[in-house]
């Protein structure tokens, strides 16, 4: 990872979540002062427990839907890494009201608070779900289709607000469209667990993972270390042409769910050979699911200097060990 940021004051919203806590860990290593804003609706206190004794870390327990919480958290901050959101396509279909309230209402409050506090740059988590039903592969930032879920709509609206605020108020924003991020601290529990930690948990318990559909749905799985690199690059890039833009954050390769399951079984069998023999089950397709996802990362490479180091296999080697030791 080439880009570095040191000795700054940075707010990470959703810092007790999977991606947020990984970002905080990196920032503290480089002598930054870090504020974590989280209401623990999906984030976990154990994710930030290692940082609580660090004098450069401050926990601001609060909700991005509360403007006063946003104003307090952003006071005196140089940069914002906005990770707070309610993720999951199925969750948004089951409860579009709360998803919209958090992902749009909370986003606008946080963005406006950052503008008022004269924050230097606001980098936010966007989503590959924004591409919707657009058929082109690989996905390029300027070509999107119809969103297929309330979650996808909220993440696209965030991009529109960021662009609008940049135009009207002059605040620098950069959006990062994450593609299926995985890594340590990703929650394997609950109804909306992501596929990799969920399947790992099931395989460790000798349970058959259930693939929705025929297993040929494909994703551009992205190790969290690549995401950290993209965020730091977005904070530090000096090229003005790179600011007020949206970028894909991925590895630039895709694997289908059958391939993913085979890799998981192979890597986990190094710890327990019995796992290799577990069979996979198939269930109905989920509403709102995109069939294939693959990112073009040319724009991020060109303007941000983004160079992802971890393929699916290389990232899983690290992630699987963490899961084996922590589940």
The set of catalytic residues is 151
Nearest to 114 by CA among 154, 190, 170: 170
DSSP string, 12-54: EETTTSHHHHHHHHHHHHTT-EEEEEE--SS--HHHHGGGTT-
String of DSSP letters for 271-311: T-GGGGGPPPEEEPPPTT--SB--B--HHHHHHH-------
Using CA atoms, how far residue 38 sits from 42, 117, 202, in Å, is 9, 19, 29
Measured in degrees and rounded to the nearest 5, phi and psi for residue 12 equal -115, 110
What is the pairing mode between strands 281-283 and 245-249?
Answer: unpaired
């Amino acid at each position: 990872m080439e880009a570095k940021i040191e000795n700054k004051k940075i707010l990470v919203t959703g810092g007790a979540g999977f991606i947020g806590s990984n970002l905080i860990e990196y920032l503290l290593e480089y002598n930054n002062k870090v504020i974590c804003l989280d209401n623990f609706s999906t984030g976990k206190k154990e994710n930030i427990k290692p940082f609580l004794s660090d004098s450069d870390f401050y926990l601001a327990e609060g909700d991005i839907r509360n403007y006063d919480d946003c104003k307090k958290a952003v006071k005196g901050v140089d940069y914002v890494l906005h990770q707070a959101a309610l993720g999951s396509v199925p969750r948004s279909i089951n409860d579009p009201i709360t998803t919209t309230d958090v992902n749009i209402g909370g986003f606008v409050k946080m963005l406006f608070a950052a503008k008022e506090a004269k924050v230097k740059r606001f980098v936010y988590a966007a989503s590959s779900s924004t591409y919707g039903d657009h058929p082109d592969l690989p996905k390029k930032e300027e070509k999107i289709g119809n969103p297929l879920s309330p979650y996808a709509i909220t993440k696209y609206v965030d991009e529109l607000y960021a662009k609008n605020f940049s135009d009207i108020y002059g605040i620098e924003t950069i959006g990062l469209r994450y593609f299926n991020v995985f890594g340590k601290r990703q929650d394997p529990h609950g109804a909306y667990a992501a596929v990799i930690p969920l399947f790992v948990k099931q395989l460790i318990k000798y349970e058959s993972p259930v693939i929705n559909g025929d297993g040929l749905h494909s994703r551009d799985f992205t190790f969290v270390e690549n995401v950290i690199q993209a965020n730091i690059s977005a904070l530090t890039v000096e090229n003005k042409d790179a600011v007020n833009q949206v970028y894909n954050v991925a590895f630039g390769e895709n694997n289908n769910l059958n391939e993913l399951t085979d890799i998981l079984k192979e890597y986990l069998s190094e710890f327990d050979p019995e796992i290799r023999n577990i069979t996979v089950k198939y269930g109905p397709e989920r509403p709102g699911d995109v069939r294939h996802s693959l990112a073009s990362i040319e724009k991020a490479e060109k303007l941000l200097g983004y160079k992802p180091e971890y393929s699916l296999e290389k990232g899983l080697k690290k992630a699987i060990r963490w899961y084996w030791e922590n589940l």
